[in-house]
Structures are given as C-alpha cells and as structure tokens.
Amino acid sequence: MKARVRLFAILREKVGASELTIVLPEHSTVADLMKEMAHQYPALLDGIAHTMVAVNTEYVQQSQLLHDGDEVALIPPVSGGAPDIQTGDTI
C-alpha cells in the first residue's frame, strides 16, 4: 500500500520536500510509517518525538491502521494565532 505523506514547517525543511509517497506492507499502522520514515529520512529523527499525526485531516494515535491512498500529515508543534500577552510566550 502507498501512503501520501505531507510535511510542514520544520519537518518539511529537514526532509527538503513537502510531500512524499511511502510504500508500506498491508495493515501497517502510523507507528510503522513513522519507523519507515525515520529509516528513510534520518533527519526526521530529532523532530519525530514532538510530532503529532493526522490521517485524512484528523489527529490519530500511533496504533491507527493505514489504508492505501491515505493522506498522512506530520504535524510539528503548532504556533499559529497570536503572542500570549500575559506571559510573553511566543506561541
């Protein structure tokens, strides 16, 4: 099966691509995909611990089963919106 993987922000820069196609055995999970991606793109290893995963635009757990044609997105920590005025945090 093939998964279409979308990469954003720091992960996109580390890999040097915004989209990849990863071939996996049938009945693979998100965890299997992450393992395969870390193998193919060692630059991802640093960031992967901080990464959430969405399948077809919904957040999922590592145990989620993948299906052929799924759109998987690796979501590094988000930082949209506005600065926090009270604490000075930047997210």
Partner 1 sequence: MILLTRKPLDPDAITATVHGDANGGIVTFLGATRNETAGRRVLYLEYEAYEDMAEKILARIAQEIKERWGITDVSIAHRFGRLEIGEVSLVVAVASPHRAEAFAACQYVVDRIKQDVPIWKKEFFENGEVWVGMEGHPRPLSVPR
Q: Tell me which residues touch partner 1 (CB under 8 A).
A: 6, 8-10, 12, 34, 47-54, 57, 59-62, 73, 75-84, 90-91
In the complex, the smallest distance separating the C-beta of residue 14 from partner 1, rounded to whole angstroms, is 10
CB of 30 to partner 1, least distance (A): 8
Query: Which of 42, 83 has the CB closer to partner 1?
Result: 83
Nearer to partner 1, 34 or 66 (CB): 34
What 3-state DSSP class applies to 1?
coil
SS3 20: strand
Helix boundaries (H) for 2-85: 9-15, 30-40, 45-48
Considering just the CA atoms, what is the radius of gyration of the chain in Å?
14
Between residues 13 and 67, which has the closer beta carbon with respect to partner 1?
Answer: 13
- Which alpha helices (H) appear in the chain, and where do they start and end? 9-15, 30-40, 45-48
Minimum CB–partner distance for residue 10 and partner 1 (Å): 4
